[in-house]
Amino acid sequence: MDMGTLGLDNIAVAFALGPLQLGWRRAVLLGLAFGFAETGMTLLGAALSQVWLPAMMSADATRAGVLATLAVAVFALAWVRYRPADFVGSAWTLAALALLLGIDNFVAGGGGHGSDFSAAPMVGAGATIGVLASAACAAGAALFRPMPQWGAWASAAMLTGLAVAGMA
């Protein structure tokens, strides 16, 4: 499977996080985290090609579980009137989210590369995904800028939809 198509879930999650109004610095940090995780997990999967098989069984459930947990966290933080962007925009939260969403790249990287293995296309695809994730986050923020009070609810709803779609 092409790494670019594996990164589409990260772009969708970045768009869903946009209504939280993370700000441009956190959107760039989100793009960096997603881009590095996409590249790193693919390269790690290629390096550990003998170990990736058990991860394949739980990749979809892991991503769906992460998205559902994040949706509940955003919903709960909005419910108690705490700004969810402070939690989601944390560098540690973004790094953990990117790594857990990148498990499909780990599995795809272990798909048996022969002697024609090259890291350059993976790095390029990771950079592209990072830029597109930042842009998607900014687009989601721009869409909900007129009604910031509904941004957290919209983000939680979109994350729930992505989790349900990931389980299907």
What would the pLDDT profile of 89-125 be if each residue is shown by its tens digit? Answer: 888 888 888 888 877 777 666 665 544 567 777 788 8
Cβ atoms of residues 49 and 140 within 8 Å: no
CB burial readout 120-148, b (16+ within 10 A) else e:
eebbebbbebbebbbbbbbebbeebeeee
Question: pLDDT tens-digit profile of 127-168?
Answer: 888 899 999 999 998 988 777 678 888 889 998 898 888 765
How much of the chain exceeds pLDDT 90, in percent? Answer: 13
- Give the separation between CA 70 and CA 165, rounded to whole angstroms: 15
Amino acid code (one letter) for 18: G
